[in-house]
Amino acid sequence: MAREQGRDRASAPPPATLITLERELFLRSIADGQPRGGAALQLARAMRDASFRAGETIYRAGDFTRLLHFVTHGEVELTAANVEPWRLQAPAVIGVLDINQRRAYSRTATALTDVRALVLREDDWFEALEEHFEFARTSMVRLADDVHKMRLTVSPSGGFPEPPPQRDEEPHALNLQERTLALRGVAIFRTAGIQALALLATTARERALRAGERLVTRGDPATALLVVARGTIRIEHENPVIRARFGPGSLVGGGASISFETHPYTAEAESAAVVLELHREDVIDALEDHVEMIHATLAGLGHEREQIMNELARRAKPTTA
């Protein structure tokens, strides 16, 4: 159980404006200067202080308390059955992966040291995202960039799953329904509304490739997101070595590609393929006009981050003789 931060009765509490300012500064410190302006002020005002003793449970797996904890001091451990634990030191945010995926806590959070945190309700978090699009946009890009950096530490697969076996289907020009279904398969679009996806499908540029044909070269400007609709695309990164394959219903480079300014991978068609190119401005417009697209993107990116963190924790586990 969290305890409200105690105060010395002999001294006056700091002014509310000072408390809010300190919270704003903390939020910016953990997000490379973001959030700013109205979003930062709104979040800071909605937060409350909490503290936990070493060994105390912050929340339990399966709980639906719907709180984010911005850890300002201390170290926490997140545990679950059949997976390796995660250990996080301040500054860190815990609970956000579960809340963005709209589920119960998947891990139990325990204070390894005395911990101080700023606590935010789920409703206040989503309200800030929905009312301040620039904050939502920078949150998505920053999360995507973090996912990409983590993938580069997981050589040689990048933590990308292997695509499932495909039907022996000859690539062909796609109708609107087929385009929309291809987008619906993408992790960061999976829970988006059908109207938003259909609008994106109409603006997508369809590109057919022969087996062995180059799609992009590392260093090319990343002006579009690349969705595989048919066939298989293979990517390569030389240092560190990353090799991965993408089948229908996947983004080339994963959800992290929404943060790419230039392509970090060289990609080519492993088989005859059809790729849908989604211009970045069209994706941004869809995110701004359809709030469920923001929720879907954060959920998809959160799922990817969680899978990579599990893989990194597994690799870090000491081997036994």
Per residue in 73-86, pLDDT tens? Answer: 999 999 999 999 99
Angle at 318 between CA 97 and CA 237, to 5 degrees: 60
Boundary-marking domain end, from 99, 131, 163: 131
Mean pLDDT for all residues in the chain: 89
Residue 70 has pLDDT above 60, yes or no: yes
Residue 101 has pLDDT above 60, yes or no: yes
User: Tokens 């799953």 correspond to what residue?
Assistant: 161
Q: Are residues 68 and 195 part of one domain?
A: no
CA 22 to CA 78: how far, in whole Å? 27
Of 34-43, 74-83, 302-311, minimum mean pLDDT range:
34-43
Residue 62 has pLDDT above 90, yes or no: yes
CA 279 to CA 91: how far, in whole Å? 35
Q: Are residues 275 and 207 part of one domain?
A: yes
Residue 317 lies in a domain: no
pTM: 0.87
pLDDT tens-digit map of 114-152: 999 999 999 999 999 999 999 899 999 999 999 999 999
Boundary-marking domain end, from 131, 166, 195: 131
Residue 237 lies in a domain: yes
| Residue 265 DSSP symbol | S
**pLDDT for the residue numbered 187:** 93
Residue 306 has pLDDT above 90, yes or no: yes
Residue 136 lies in a domain: no
Instruction: Report residue 318 as tokens.
Output: 């000491």
**pLDDT for the residue numbered 165:** 85
Strand partners, 225: 278
Q: Are residues 197 and 124 part of one domain?
A: no
Residue 295: give the domain boundaries.
146-309
On whether the CB atoms of residues 96 and 68 are closer than 8 A, the answer is: yes
Q: Among 227, 214, 218, which residue's Cα sits nearest to residue 266?
A: 218
CA 153 to CA 159: how far, in whole Å? 9
On whether the CB atoms of residues 188 and 297 are closer than 8 A, the answer is: yes
Region 212-227: what's the mean pLDDT?
A: 97
Region 150-171: what's the mean pLDDT?
A: 88
Domain count across the chain: 2
Q: Are residues 219 and 115 part of one domain?
A: no
pLDDT tens-digit map of 228-256: 999 999 999 999 999 999 999 999 999 99
Q: Are residues 158 and 112 part of one domain?
A: no
Q: Taking the CB of residue 14, how many other CB atoms lie within 10 A of it?
A: 11
Residue 57 has pLDDT above 70, yes or no: yes
Q: Are residues 302 and 163 part of one domain?
A: yes
Percent of the chain whose predicted confidence (pLDDT) is above 90: 79
Q: Are residues 164 and 56 part of one domain?
A: no
Indicate the residue type of 318: P
Q: Are residues 185 and 78 part of one domain?
A: no
CATH number of the domain where residue 56 is located? 2.60.120.10
pLDDT tens-digit map of 282-291: 999 999 999 9
